[in-house]
Amino acid sequence: MLKLSRSCLRQILAQAKEHLPIEACGLLAGSITEDSLRIVEIFPMTNLDQSPEHFSMDPKEQFAAVREMRRKGLKLLGNYHSHPNTPARPSAEDIRLAYDPEGIYMILSLQGEEPVLKAFKIRHGAYSEILLEVVD
């Protein structure tokens, strides 16, 4: 099971709304136990593409974030991005660019009246949803 802190959820949602109409993106950090992954901190990144349909993270920001994670004893668990106008599921481009079969790919859709956040594993060109629980 994947657990996401409520404060991380609020931060992802605020970043996504702030960057409309482009996709917001960032890295997910936390811990791994036998029965769950726990996301306790996010690292917002700059979307270099400045696009509502795709994103590229700034490599310098990524390296700095990973150094900070290590300093804090956290692990890089995956990444997140928003879909301003499409559902919370991986696009063909998301699937094509998914390089880490063990990573978490989280997508926040702002398409409807209420935001929808989902998490996925993407392996060998296919995706499966991960059960996501928001915790305090």
- The predicted-structure confidence for 88-119, as pLDDT tens digits, reads as follows 999 999 999 999 999 999 999 999 999 999 99
pTM of the model: 0.95
Measured between alpha carbons, how far is 38 from 115 in angstroms, rounded to an integer?
Answer: 21
Measured between alpha carbons, how far is 122 from 101 in angstroms, rounded to an integer?
Answer: 6
Q: Which whole number is the average pLDDT over 64-89?
A: 97
What domains are there in the chain, each with its CATH number?
Answer: 2-135 (3.40.140.10)
With tokens 């700095």, the residue in question is: 64
Query: For residue 29, what are the β-bridge partners?
Result: 41, 76
pLDDT for 1 equals 87
Tell me what the pLDDT averaged over the chain comes to: 96
Question: How do residues 34-61 score in pLDDT, each as one tens digit?
Answer: 888 999 999 999 999 999 999 999 999 9
